[in-house]
């Protein structure tokens, strides 16, 4: 009988201790915040007002003709009372990219954030218009980007500079691709095509304000022109004149693809002013 009482007393103490341990473990447990799960029901709808406040929805920048990239930063604030999940950012083309954290990007109420955007513009002339659509679980908003690519600034040459250039060209028409001349006649056209290549390599002579009399005005040629005409003259030049051969096979700086792009641009930009000769 005494042994049974001792056993029940020990069991009671054990159960009491276990209860205390259980209560202590519960009191020390870490409370985990619930995970926010985006509701995609309205992801394709227009983003309502009162969700994100943007600094601007359209931005414009100017870029130099030899600039490789244009950069934009759109700032926004979550002015709603709840979390908003950015689930996708879709640029209008592959040359445009947005730098984002891992998606979905949960933006808490009152959070200020940024979306940096980069546009690759190497070799692109004129004005470019791009869009980036930001999709959230509350709706989507489109950001607009306008890039004005400025024409190259042609260097100012003195009369003495021109005289030295003419003297060198009389001896060697390929001289424009050598020494100091290469700064304007080679470096400016690297990695360029079409119109931007023309503006870099050709306009410096043919569109110059003080164009030399021996340099023809390409807009007023009396000879019938076409793609083959331009390609031949660009690649091989004209022996006995100041027109150099731009083909790499003849010591020039341009690849066959660059020459083809330049000929195609000239054929479309400068219509022929002479009727083709009769066959």
Cβ atoms of residues 200 and 183 within 8 Å: no
Nearest CA among 258, 250, 259, 262 for reference residue 172:
250
Q: pLDDT of 172-220, one tens digit each?
A: 677 677 766 666 666 777 778 888 888 888 887 787 766 667 778 888 8
pLDDT at position 241 over 60: yes
Cβ atoms of residues 201 and 266 within 8 Å: no
Question: 189: which 2 tokens?
Answer: 């056209």
Q: What value, to the nearest 5°, has the Cα angle with vertex 252 and ends 198 and 206?
A: 35
Please tell me what DSSP assigns to residue 180: G
Binning pLDDT at 50, 70 and 90, where does residue 76 land?
Answer: very high
Strand blocks (E) in the chain: 52-54, 58-63, 69-78, 84-91, 96-98, 105-107, 112-120, 127-136, 139-149
Question: 66: which 2 tokens?
Answer: 């030899």
pLDDT at position 10 over 60: no
Q: CA-to-CA distance for 162 and 174, rounded, in angstroms?
A: 16
Helix, strand, or coil here: 34? coil
Give Cα 198 to chain centroid, integer Å. 21
Distances (CA, A) of 214 to 176, 194, 220, 231, 232: 15, 24, 14, 21, 19
pLDDT at position 23 over 50: no
pLDDT at 21: 47
pLDDT at position 13 over 70: no
Q: CA-to-CA distance for 67 and 70, rounded, in angstroms?
A: 8
CA atoms within 13 A on the CB side of 208: 19
Q: Where are the domains of the chain?
A: 40-149, 159-269
CATH architecture of 40-149: Sandwich (2.60)
Question: 118: which 2 tokens?
Answer: 């980069």
CB atoms within 10 A of CB 244: 23
Mean predicted confidence (pLDDT) in 48-71: 94
Most confident of 33-37, 52-56, 64-68, 178-182: 52-56
Binning pLDDT at 50, 70 and 90, where does residue 48 land?
Answer: very high
Binning pLDDT at 50, 70 and 90, where does residue 279 land?
Answer: very low
pLDDT at position 236 over 60: yes
Binning pLDDT at 50, 70 and 90, where does residue 83 land?
Answer: very high
pLDDT at position 151 over 60: yes
What is the average pLDDT score of the chain? Answer: 81
CB atoms within 10 A of CB 89: 21
Cβ atoms of residues 119 and 144 within 8 Å: no
CATH of domain 159-269: 1.10.760
Check residues 41 and 144 and name the one with the higher pLDDT: 144
* Model-wide pTM > 0.85: no
Bridge partner list, 113: 76
pLDDT at 220: 84
Segment among 90-94, 107-111, 154-158 with least mean pLDDT? 154-158
């Amino acid at each position: 009988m005494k042994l049974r009482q001792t056993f029940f007393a020990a069991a009671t103490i054990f159960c009491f201790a276990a209860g205390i341990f259980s209560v202590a473990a519960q009191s020390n447990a870490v409370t985990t915040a619930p995970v926010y799960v985006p509701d995609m029901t309205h992801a394709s709808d227009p983003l309502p007002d009162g969700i994100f406040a943007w600094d601007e929805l359209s931005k414009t920048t100017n870029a130099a003709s030899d600039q490789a990239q244009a950069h934009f930063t759109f700032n926004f604030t979550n002015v709603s009372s709840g979390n908003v999940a950015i689930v996708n950012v879709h640029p209008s083309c592959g040359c445009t990219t947005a730098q984002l954290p891992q998606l979905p990007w949960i933006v808490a109420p009152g959070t200020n954030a940024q979306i940096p955007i980069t546009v690759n513009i190497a070799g692109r002339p004129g004005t470019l218009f791009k869009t980036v659509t930001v999709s959230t679980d509350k709706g989507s908003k489109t950001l607009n980007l306008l890039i004005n690519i400025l024409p190259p600034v042609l260097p100012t040459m003195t009369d003495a500079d021109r005289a030295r250039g003419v003297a060198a060209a009389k001896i060697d028409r390929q001289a424009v691709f050598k020494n100091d001349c290469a700064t304007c006649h080679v470096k400016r056209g690297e990695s360029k095509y079409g119109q931007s290549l023309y503006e870099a390599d050709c306009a410096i002579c043919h569109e110059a304000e003080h164009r030399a009399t021996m340099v023809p005005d390409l807009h007023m040629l009396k000879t019938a022109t076409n793609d083959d005409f331009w390609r031949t003259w660009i690649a091989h030049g004209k022996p006995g004149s100041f027109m150099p051969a731009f083909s790499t096979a003849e010591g020039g700086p341009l690849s066959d693809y660059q020459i083809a792009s330049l000929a195609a641009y000239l054929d479309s930009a400068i219509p022929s002013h002479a009727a083709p000769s009769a066959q």
